[in-house]
Chain A
């Protein structure tokens, strides 16, 4: 039986520039008790379609269809259909308690008394895996972590007792480990309650892990649909192939040419009142290599990048550049440059692309260039062409570019001063798959061509394993493991590295369906924050021993490999001889 049936849905936006067709004759259905996927890049019209189904489009949009029904009846939000949004932080009201936000939904659906609604809310929280539900009910959204909030949002959706739930990018804003938990929860709910689920995502791994049938969407149209195996193993459309390629494509690793140390960081520490600080980070960047830094948000990756570029000042520790103490009084002479995550926020909206590059050159170029306007313009033109933009683009403002083009300008701005180190801070993560691949290709080409050392910060383990020669993993502000990428990825030593690798879902239905059983941790701190004492990961670690909660592990070095875990301490693995070869303890 078709639980949700959409026939020939079209949507137009009426903008100041005129009509804009966002959706054209979309046909889609969801079967009972089934998880159906809708895949597409950002801007392909997925979210518009879902909002249109729910009747939540803004006033400047109009829709036509030959019928949108839930079990043959018209759609009524909150009665026969519910929706989960991408960002749980923004879709819960910050000044209303969690409990109230659930009970009001229950009461709107069941028209029951306060007490009954409260009991139902506790039941729902329990069902979505939130421990200590009574306390949580009295808390405000800002007191809970992202993963917990998404569970609350799911609980609210379930409170509507819908026939079908639309989940619009439900895990995109979450860390890999939490993502796995939420995906398991969604699957469990479909199995237990029989509610159908329409999963909208740009992430092929997520789609592969849950869905039975998949629709592929592009520019407001469904280009292909079928069972997940057909689509992923034998795609019919060129576009689907492109999407899959962008995730699967293998690259030859670019090895560091020389083993010479270019940048050496020792015991770098920066503390903040809240989280996101770093503690005792020691690492080395070789000339011409790509060093990748992995870790979830809040693990201190960005803080490290900002200290290296001189935006932040470290509390303790030293940074050596070619064995000289690096002076970072805001003018590193342009030797270290950075490409930022958000292509929208990293370009000044008041400067044209050419002006932005000109500003960089004026500050760091050679003396004759500082004086000669034409010379600068010439160099900017060359740079623009190098990153795949045209000369005309120089006089355009950032608002006239797409996300991918903006990221190209960001790269051009970083490279125009000929840096020796390029830091890419999640430079790809806000782009969609195909653009991501293009930008990555560009970055790698330039890196190879100019032999720039690159510190590549990312949460995406697939990308890291594909492109870097060495890598480090950060957790709670500490570098928990470093080593050659090939070795770390194939044989992780630290339990957290293993968790990260397990949680990275592949765009392969058979493998991705085994979502790892990642423990939810103790949740004693509401799932946020890091242990005050001892190993930062002890609270969520399946291998935690008594010493883990009491002492902080040192860094144990084995050749090129370094790991900060008691499993590799002499006390634990026994005194060893000089030529002892350490292997993974997990």
Chain B
């Protein structure tokens, strides 16, 4: 267990390093300079580039950037001189998280609930309808869901506000549009896993020893069927982060996603780089935590750890 933890953390750090290298190289390869906006003269561009250290050799730039990265400094925005990238992240991160975390929770709860219903409902109709709806929802891209929700519930019915994040009601539509796809995936995962579990011998034995259906599902089968859902939380958080790009721009929410989209349009290289590394790091961290949690929740792994310690 201890070795496994260390190994996973090392992999995480290595992934982070690769991410930083790849991002740095790709951003340097991007055509065009952020300062060539046409109206400024060559000299000014050169002067600014010198100020940002863009005239020095690539290797040196890389080392400087990595050095700064280790100190937690992601540089200064090109577009908005004087504003540090870390400041922008600090300002916008909380907003995105306040959408992403509820969306993740909604997705897990709804997905698991419907997944259980799909797998064990005695009514064939219920099973078919749930799986059909799930399949349709899994086929709607996040931006399409966001636009449709906006058109129906805020433009036509005027139930929820269309933009900003001022009151709890403002959260409803963005959170739902973010949660739809992961919920559909989680439903499929839970449903499949639970169906497989319900076929197993121990369920038959539980029935033979007189346990009720609910008790079998909730205290026995689910205990073995949660694993795929836990493993999906990492990819789901990645989906939510990238999903925030469109959802935040559709609902005009000043989060990290909209900042990223803007930075792309503005070719604000340090900001692109900083945000990419930051978001990558978040996903790597979530993956790491869920992996370790999964290992720890597995009785066989936990036992071997206890034996190691005792």
Contact = CB atoms under 8 A, between A and B. Distances in A.
B3 interface: no
B211 interface: yes
B170 to A, nearest CB: 41
A104 B211 contact: yes
| Max chain B C-beta neighbours (<10 A), residue from A104, A142, A157 | A104
Nearest to B197: A93
B223 A93 contact: yes
A91 B220 CA distance: 12
Interface stretch (B24-32, B82-90, B200-208, B275-283): B200-208
A91 B202 contact: yes
A566 B224 CA distance: 48
B299 A91 contact: no
| Max chain A C-beta neighbours (<10 A), residue from B201, B205, B219 | B205
A105 B205 contact: no
Interface size class of A (residues with CB under 8 A): 20 to 34
A60 interface: no
B207 A105 contact: no
Interface of B: 200-202, 204-212, 215, 219-220, 223-224, 298-300, 303
Nearest to B208: A83
A140 B299 contact: yes
A93 B220 contact: yes
A169 to B, nearest CB: 12
Interface in A12-49: none
A83 B211 CA distance: 13
Contacts of B219: 96, 104
Given A78-B208, A153-B205, 7 more contacts: A77-B209, A79-B210, A90-B200, A90-B201, A93-B206, A95-B299, A96-B223
Contacts, number: 74
B287 to A, nearest CB: 23
Interface of A: 51, 54, 56, 76-79, 82-83, 85, 87, 90-96, 104-105, 108-109, 140, 142-143, 153, 156-157, 159-160
A56 B204 contact: yes
Contact of A105 (B200, B209, B298): B209
Contacts of A54: 207-208
B121 to A, nearest CB: 13
A160 B210 contact: yes
Contacts of A108: 209-212, 215
A140 B207 CA distance: 20
Given A94-B224, A96-B223, A104-B215, A78 B205 contact: no
B209 A159 contact: yes
Contacts of B208: 54, 56, 77-78, 82-83, 85
A78 B211 contact: yes
A140 B303 contact: yes
Contacts of A76: 210
12 contacts: A78-B211, A82-B208, A82-B209, A83-B208, A91-B205, A92-B205, A96-B219, A104-B219, A105-B209, A105-B211, A109-B210, A159-B209
A140 B304 CA distance: 12
Nearest to B210: A78
B207 A77 contact: yes
B304 to A, nearest CB: 11
A180 to B, nearest CB: 24
Contact of A140 (B211, B212, B300): B300
Contacts of B298: 95
B300 A83 contact: no
Contacts of A85: 201, 204-205, 208
Contacts of A153: 205
A83 B220 contact: no
Given A104-B215, A104-B219, A90 B210 contact: no
Nearest to B298: A95
Nearest to A94: B224
B300 A160 contact: no
Contacts of B299: 94-95, 140, 142
Nearest to A159: B209
Contacts of A90: 200-202
Contacts of A96: 219-220, 223
Nearest to A105: B209
Given A87-B201, A90-B201, A95 B210 contact: no
Contacts of A159: 209
Contacts of B209: 77-78, 82, 105, 108, 156-157, 159-160
B212 to A, nearest CB: 8
Nearest to B227: A95
Contacts of B200: 90
A344 B165 CA distance: 61
Contacts of B212: 108
B207 A56 contact: yes
| Max chain A C-beta neighbours (<10 A), residue from B200, B209, B210 | B209
Contacts of A51: 204
Contacts of A91: 201-202, 204-205
B210 A142 contact: no
Contacts of B206: 93
A486 to B, nearest CB: 42
B36 to A, nearest CB: 60
Nearest to A83: B208
B231 to A, nearest CB: 16
A77 to B, nearest CB: 5
A521 B199 CA distance: 36
B224 A95 contact: yes
Contacts of A56: 204, 207-208
Contacts of A79: 210
A145 to B, nearest CB: 15
A95 B200 CA distance: 13
